[in-house]
Copies of this chain bind each other. A is one copy, B any other.
Amino acid sequence: MAEYPHTGRFLMGRLRHALTHAEKQTLEELVSDVETLPDGAHLARRGEVLERSTILVEGFVARSMLVGENRAILSFHVPGDFVDLHGFALKRLDHDVISIGTVTAGYVSHHALEKLMQEQPHLTRLLWFSSLLEAAIHREWICKLEQLQAAQRVAHIFAEIWYRLEMVGLACGNQVRTPLTQAQLAEMCGITPIHMNRALGQLRQEGVAEFRRGTLFAEDRARLEAFGVFDPSYLYGNAELGMGEELTS
Contact = CB atoms under 8 A, between A and B. Distances in A.
Interface of A: 45-47, 49, 63, 65, 67-68, 70, 72-75, 86, 89-95, 117-118, 121, 124-125, 128-129, 131-132, 134-136, 138-143, 145-148, 187-190, 229, 233-234, 236, 239, 241-244, 246-249
Contacts of A93: 247
A241 B247 CA distance: 36
A235 to B, nearest CB: 9
A138 B147 contact: no
Contacts of A239: 90-92
A128 B87 CA distance: 12
A16 B246 CA distance: 36
A17 to B, nearest CB: 16
Contacts of A63: 139
Question: How many copies altogether?
Answer: 2
A77 to B, nearest CB: 13
A144 to B, nearest CB: 8
A128 B129 contact: no
A212 B148 CA distance: 29
A244 B243 CA distance: 38
A89 B139 contact: no
A67 B147 contact: yes
Contacts of A90: 129, 132, 136, 236, 239, 244
13 contacts: A45-B249, A72-B142, A74-B139, A86-B132, A91-B242, A93-B247, A94-B236, A131-B131, A131-B135, A134-B135, A138-B138, A145-B146, A147-B190
